[in-house]
Structure 1
Amino acid sequence: MAMPDKQDRLAMSAPLLPRPAAYLSSSFSFSSSSSFSSTSSSSFTDAATATTSPPTSSSSPPPTMGAACKALAVLRDHPGSVSCLSLCGEFLLSASTGADIVAWQQPDLRRFARFGHGEGSVKALAAAGGRVFSAHQDGRVRVWRVSRRSENAFKLVAALPTTRDYLGRIFRQASYVQTTTRRDSSHRRRLWIEHADSISCLAVHDGVLYSGSWDKTLKVWRTADLKCIESIRAHDDAINAVAADGGVIYSASADGRVKAWEKGKAAHFLQGVLVARDGVSWNAVAVAADHRIYAAGSDGHVVGWDRLGSRSSKVARWSIACDVKAHDMAVLCLCVVRDLLCTGSADKTIGLWRRQSGGGEIAKVGTIGGHQGPVKCLQASWCRASNGFMVYSGSLDKTIRVWWVPSALDANTDDQQQQEEKCFKDQNHNDKAATLFLR
């Protein structure tokens, strides 16, 4: 694969395509009957119809959603389960187990482009500096140039490790290491710049791309020349998530540990280990604007940590700020925007939580339902025009759903939802009794 030219390198430091002014001002109109103003298409389904239709089974409640939240759209264009989402300027990017990536253009969420490359599913997406980085099951990271001036808006420019990086190390014995994978316990010799298993997560921070893999390593790539500059044997089991914050990288693993790595002068070093309990696989990690770290566990819990002491201190400690049973089943994904924390679960629902600025606790303010499969990925952004949040969710049911969440939600909203669910169950019980009486 050819290395990026001079124009590509300059684009590395350029901002992503800006969102159109209309999106920030008056792109959305909301009402009780029609939550999204747009014409229909093959890839767009009016969510108002989907969320008000009767349940398919009398024993299951209808999709739950706070009275103030609005379902905007259901996007159906992936042949496989939706595995990851990313916001890239004016685009919402989604990828699936079908190895395809779709760019949805905002604000009307029309399919703008479909692209993809490689074998196996796309596991993670990240966007920065006019580039989109995609992580694949085949252990490669692919780099796409974003440009509206070309017919091919998403052009593949490199696959990591690059051919130049390979050729520079392939004949050096010191460049090889022994590796194992989760699927194959046998030891194999590989270049240390290669991932030996699926890449599960990506993060871009301060001119560096971080990739975490099921091979238990965290690799560091310099975005200026796309060269692998470091490989960290980070965990004892698969790495599921990675997040960056002010020179500190947090990796979450199936080994039950969330680790903090600080960028030193020559290499990254372990700054601390964040532990909440044993026997938990951490599936997702996110960092808020106030530097609080949140992790989502296989036991349905969401745990938040605060760093103690000065951020410039070489010796760091973390204390648990909150530990909440968020879902009855595993929490698979989470995202943080302003004071809103969103959690997606294997129970097919999305939890909405208000972050408390004082003691670090989180309070549940709503539950969103509608997906027919586990919620695998989440993204959220602040919408100034509507004074609320846009929440995007991808599921194993092959759909992407778009929601609007007002900024004024409070804890009473979730109580109201629970009352509505109880009323539905009571009504369902009465209907069954009436049916038995008629028989």
Structure 2
Amino acid sequence: MCSILLNPKRSLSTPLLYLSSSATNSSSSSSSEAAEDNPNNIGYPRPFEIMKNVEKLIGGSTKSYKLLDVLSGHVGAISCLALCGEFVLSASQGKDIIVWQQPDLRLFTKFGAGEGSVKALVTVANKVFTAHQDSRIRVWKVSKRSENVFRLVDTLPTTKDYLGKCMKQSNYVQIRRHHKKLWIEHADSISCLAVENGLIYSGSWDKTLKVWRLSDLRCLESIKAHDDAINGLIAKNGVVYSASADGKIKVWGKECSKKNSSSSLHRLEGVLEGHKDVSMNAVIVSDRGNGDGDENERVYGGASDGYLMGWERGKEGEWKLVVEVKAHQLSILCLSFMGDNLCSGSADKSICLWKRDDYNLKDGLKSGISKIGVIRGHDGPIKCLQVSPNCVGGGFLLYSGSLDKSLRVWWVSKDISDEEKH
């Protein structure tokens, strides 16, 4: 996602239209450039205003976390979140997408009503991609003349892609008895999206993973990825991880065709086994560590039995289970990272805070993570989490969306030492 720019050394005057891709590092522009690109002369907050606002709300609190705001406005349960510059996007099963502006978190604009329940969203430059229950991906573009207007510009698969394949019988696949669809079409709800290196990935309840090219929105590949619905996706460092109700997380690497080096194909590189007959609902990948070579990249999965599981890949390419803890009483529905901190959201209405801990791994124990806090406050299951990647007042901002229809904004300390009991 595009990151919220809370670093005082970086400009926040850039409108949403000109923010960088959600798959790359955010970029900034000067105030004069922003003024030219912003004909409506909308005022955007400066970095010191955000810092002052957040620090005032924190008020020198010694608690490990603090609720900063509760945002209401959705008519249905909140299903997904995304960050883009100084904006927070939240989508709902009630079909609406709301754009909230920092630092006052006011409702900036709404769009998307009537397009079917939104299951996932990602932002790329001046476009927003939304995945829907009706098995379609919709592409919205921010108006250059008015930053608070989002216009529907395309739907995937595109008409051009569809017409180019519909006349050939070999392009159709059997989805159920006496019913066929083009291989570029999803046959059920699209549950998750991920973006990296000019590609967008979509996972569906139809068990397939599809790969789309951002430049022309063409579907390049359809993979029969799992034996049950795909619930979560993440793409990082050229690798795609898919979590499924079949209890597995699968690892997909890219390879180039010898005939055409520009065509990317994906191959299965690993299967991470969860508990038998237990759905894997979420997946996330940690950073490689602090750069000293002592920490390996780790893949975490959240399961429907409340277990948090983590795997590391060895030098020979084999995967080893290094984390297996009962994290929640009910199903884990979402995961999010901030540095060494992992956040897990659950159907038990709580958010657990975790920190990587490799001490016990030396003894061969599967406990390479420690619980450092618990956040409570929502009246419904936590469906989605998103953290700001920048430090604010010795901590970070955490956004949580719930089936209680509210979006909550939390400040979380980076220096939690004891488990929060309240």
**Same fold at TM > 0.5:** yes
Map 1:33-48 to 2 at 5 A: 34-35=57-58
- 1:300 partner amino acid: G
Matched, 1:157 2:163: no
Q: Specify the alignment match of 2:116 in structure 1.
A: 120
Q: Is there any run of 5+ residues in structure 2 with no aligned partner, and where?
A: 1-16, 29-43, 258-264, 289-296, 362-366
The 8 Å contact of residues 79 and 92 in structure 2, kept in 1 or not, is answered as: yes
Q: Specify the alignment match of 1:377 in structure 2.
A: 384
* Equivalent of 2:53 in 13, 21, 28: 28
The separation in 1 between residues aligned to 2:221 and 2:315, in whole angstroms, is 28
The 8 Å contact of residues 309 and 321 in structure 2, kept in 1 or not, is answered as: yes
The 8 Å contact of residues 231 and 281 in structure 2, kept in 1 or not, is answered as: yes
Q: 1:73–1:375: structure 2 CA closer, same or farther, 3 Å change rule?
A: same
Map 1:274-313 to 2 at 5 A: 274-290=272-288, 291-309=297-315
* Equivalent of 1:403 in 407, 410, 418: 410
Residue 260 of structure 1 deviates from its aligned partner by 0.4
SS of 2:74's partner is coil
The 8 Å contact of residues 20 and 124 in structure 2, kept in 1 or not, is answered as: no
The separation in 2 between residues aligned to 1:382 and 1:11, in whole angstroms, is 15
The separation in 1 between residues aligned to 2:116 and 2:325, in whole angstroms, is 35
The separation in 2 between residues aligned to 1:66 and 1:141, in whole angstroms, is 44
- 2:196 partner amino acid: H
- 1:297 partner amino acid: A
The separation in 2 between residues aligned to 1:259 and 1:71, in whole angstroms, is 36
* Equivalent of 1:224 in 215, 237, 246: 215
The separation in 1 between residues aligned to 2:132 and 2:299, in whole angstroms, is 26
Map 1:169-184 to 2 at 5 A: 169-180=165-176
The separation in 2 between residues aligned to 1:379 and 1:203, in whole angstroms, is 14
SS of 2:134's partner is coil
Residue 66 of structure 1 deviates from its aligned partner by 8.8
The separation in 2 between residues aligned to 1:23 and 1:370, in whole angstroms, is 29
The separation in 2 between residues aligned to 1:88 and 1:303, in whole angstroms, is 29
The separation in 2 between residues aligned to 1:120 and 1:256, in whole angstroms, is 28
Q: Structure 2-normalised TM-score?
A: 0.81
Q: 1:74–1:167: structure 2 CA closer, same or farther, 3 Å change rule?
A: same
Residue 215 of structure 1 deviates from its aligned partner by 0.3
SS of 2:378's partner is coil
Map 1:110-149 to 2 at 5 A: 110-116=106-112, 119-146=115-142, 149=145
Give CA-to-partner distance per residue, 1:52-76, whole Å, 9 cap, x none.
Answer: xxxxxxxxxxxxx992311000001
Q: 1:24–1:301: structure 2 CA closer, same or farther, 3 Å change rule?
A: farther
Q: 1:224–1:118: structure 2 CA closer, same or farther, 3 Å change rule?
A: farther
Residue 24 of structure 1 deviates from its aligned partner by 8.4
- 1:269 partner amino acid: R
Map 1:36-435 to 2 at 5 A: 67-116=63-112, 119-146=115-142, 149-180=145-176, 186-266=177-257, 267-290=265-288, 291-309=297-315, 316-356=317-357, 359=361, 361-410=368-417, 412-414=418-420, 417=421
The 8 Å contact of residues 66 and 368 in structure 1, kept in 2 or not, is answered as: no
Query: Of the two, which has the highest radius of gyration?
Result: 1
Q: Structure 1-normalised TM-score?
A: 0.78
Q: Specify the alignment match of 1:55 in structure 2.
A: none
- 2:411 partner amino acid: W
Q: Is there any run of 5+ residues in structure 1 with no aligned partner, and where?
A: 1-7, 37-64, 181-185, 311-315, 422-439
The separation in 1 between residues aligned to 2:178 and 2:240, in whole angstroms, is 28
In the alignment of these two chains, the number of paired residues is 367
Q: Percent identity?
A: 53
Q: Which range is displaced more, 227-236 or 142-151?
A: 142-151
The 8 Å contact of residues 50 and 103 in structure 2, kept in 1 or not, is answered as: no
The separation in 2 between residues aligned to 1:15 and 1:24, in whole angstroms, is 22
